[in-house]
Structure 1
Amino acid sequence: MTDVFAPLAGLEGVGSSVRAARDAVDVLLRDRGLRRISSDVTTEALLLGAHASAALAGSTSPLDDVRRGEGDALSAGAVRMTTELMSMAPQADTAPVQVWTRLHQLAAVGMVADEAELGHLRTARESVPDDIEGLPPAPGADEMWERLSGLARALTEPTTAPAIVVAAIVHAELAILRPFGTANGLVARAAERLVLVARGTDPLGATVPELGHQELAGSYAQGLRDYATGGVAGVRDWLLRACEVVTLGAERSPLTGDR
């Protein structure tokens, strides 16, 4: 199978931006020492990420409420995903569809009318979801299934592309395709973080890329629109934005004490 990610990593400016973002993460982890990063740091980083991702999806729950388990359905769903996120990392590249459906099972509790919809990939008999504000209409089920299957196959094949590039493409594709009836943004952002963990950029989950997306919220929907409709330039711009997100995620890590 063709390495579909490698050409994207070679787009103008992407390579240098990836290196700068990776350096920001490496400096953070090296300065603290991987062996001295406790599970409490990971737990806190995942919680901060869940709160930020839920806020991007429309949650208004304050962080303190989320920390106490008193947040709204969106924040509760995002937090539920964190409970299994690290344990799912080994399957992120070997069984990606199963991982994405499991993420949805965790995220969408309380958001669906029927529990059978949890982890259910939509079909042509169902309405096209519109749960990420500002995006063009999601593709029909046939196109969605074709692209989702292609993305899953690509993830199981070797690539020379950096993890940051792969993670950004996974995020964008899931957001654009919206394979589930709801909670697609939560799933897409969690899937991006999983790739960063699984492919070694942030193996202990100590950074908070979701906070990067939240801080750049003004360009989030536009970045995805450009990715979907702007050709190569739109994809490049999304990848450059993703590098900025990773850098911000390192800067906002609980390890820095500055959040």
Structure 2
Amino acid sequence: MSSASDPLAALTSLPGVPEAVDSVRKAVDRVYGHRVMRRRAGEITSEAALRAARGSAALSGADWALEEVRRRSDFGSEEQARTVGAALRLTAEAGQLLSIWRQSPMRVLARLHLVAVGQVRTGTGAGAGSAAASGSAPGADGIAADTVGRPRLAGEPVDEPLVELPLPDAQEVAGRLEGLSGLIIGGSSAPALVTAAVVHGELLALRPFGSYNGLVARAAERIVLINSGLDPKAICPAEVGHAEQGRAAYLAAFEGYVSGTPEGMAAWIAHCGRAVELGVRESTAVCEALQRGAA
């Protein structure tokens, strides 16, 4: 496939990117080779999902302790609780959408937004078209039902407190989403890290929905990492690493993506790579704790 038809492949040779890809691959291989993974992979996957949700919510302004996320059952009482609930639902739903992603990424993104808002139960497939509530009255969180699960239209507001960069207009959003969808459906020879970083960065840059764009972008990154075969058991939560590096570093790297320069793109991909490695470190610690009988 030529670079013209596979633009993601061109990013693979940017300075520092081959090293980031190689480092991620080695880190993932190490945790998959841990002796605990042979016997208790399901427990590692469940724990990674919980920690991923906590990390993604933290980046969206709900920085709760892990045990608070584990303990709580009410996620609808106030804004931070809704954010944490949305992150938990998205992390659970991501694994249900893997078979659909390569055929219909827009359907998956619509479903993710519906799940984030809480208008549908998780684990029931990606029938986003019929799942949205009718009417336009806002719910308890102030989100109008008829804006959920579809890209925003001209003049519709976006609630994304983390990202303050200018919003692309609705026409640009539609065009770039179509382009991103074509790249995913067409496939790429680029490593999973590169594809995941671009999907994450593009969705965060576009903020195509009226709410929860950061959570959706990170859930889409998760889907790519799992679906690509890099992390098939979902035990390397990049969300943990994004949160651990901090919101300031996250936004600085993201601004590199938005700049579109080779240096900026390379910095964003490297940042995403480091996030995966930190997620690996987190799951390795869980493996070690299980091995000691401490968790």
TM bucket by the smaller chain? over 0.9
- Structure 1's unaligned 5+ residue stretches are none
Change in Cα spacing, 1:62 to 1:70, as seen in structure 2 (3 Å) is farther
Which of the two has higher C-alpha Rg? Answer: 2
Q: For residues 42-95 of structure 1, give each alpha carbon's deviation from its aligned partner in whole angstroms, at most 9, with x where no partner exists.
A: 121111100110011001433223213245000001111122211211222221
Partner Cα separation in structure 1 for residue 187 and residue 36 of structure 2 = 29
Alignment partner, residue 26 of structure 2: 23
1:91 partner amino acid: I
Alignment partner, residue 43 of structure 1: 46
Partner Cα separation in structure 1 for residue 271 and residue 48 of structure 2 = 21
Mapping 1:153-172, distance limit 5 Å: 153-172=182-201
- Structure 2's unaligned 5+ residue stretches are 76-80, 119-139
| Kept after mapping to 1: 8 A contact 2:50/2:70 | yes
1:212 partner amino acid: G
Mapping 1:66-77, distance limit 5 Å: 66-68=69-71, 69-71=73-75, 72-77=81-86
What is the aligned-residue RMSD (CA, Å)?
2.0
Identity %: 36
Change in Cα spacing, 1:133 to 1:84, as seen in structure 2 (3 Å) is closer
Mapping 1:37-116, distance limit 5 Å: 37-68=40-71, 69-71=73-75, 72-109=81-118, 111-116=141-146
Give the stretch that moved more between structures: 81-90 or 138-147: 81-90
| Kept after mapping to 2: 8 A contact 1:112/1:118 | no
Deviation at 1:32? 3.4
Partner Cα separation in structure 2 for residue 132 and residue 8 of structure 1 = 29
2:227 partner amino acid: A
TM-score by length of 2: 0.82
1:160 partner amino acid: S
Deviation at 1:30? 1.8
* The one of 264, 269, 275 aligned to 1:245: 275
Give the stretch that moved more between structures: 150-159 or 103-112: 103-112
Alignment partner, residue 78 of structure 2: none
Deviation at 1:168? 0.5
2:251 partner amino acid: A
Deviation at 1:130? 4.9
Alignment partner, residue 4 of structure 1: 7
Change in Cα spacing, 1:43 to 1:241, as seen in structure 2 (3 Å) is same
Q: For residues 164-193 of structure 1, give each alpha carbon's deviation from its aligned partner in whole angstroms, at most 9, with x where no partner exists.
A: 110010000000000000100000011101
1:84 partner amino acid: E
| Kept after mapping to 2: 8 A contact 1:212/1:244 | yes
| Kept after mapping to 2: 8 A contact 1:213/1:220 | yes
2:100 partner amino acid: Q
Alignment partner, residue 148 of structure 1: 177
TM-score by length of 1: 0.93
Alignment partner, residue 198 of structure 1: 227
Aligned to 1:32, the other structure's residue is in SS state: coil
The answer to whether 1:138 aligns with 2:167 is yes
Aligned to 2:96, the other structure's residue is in SS state: helix
| Kept after mapping to 2: 8 A contact 1:131/1:183 | yes
Change in Cα spacing, 1:117 to 1:8, as seen in structure 2 (3 Å) is same
* The one of 177, 181, 193 aligned to 2:206: 177
Partner Cα separation in structure 1 for residue 229 and residue 37 of structure 2 = 12
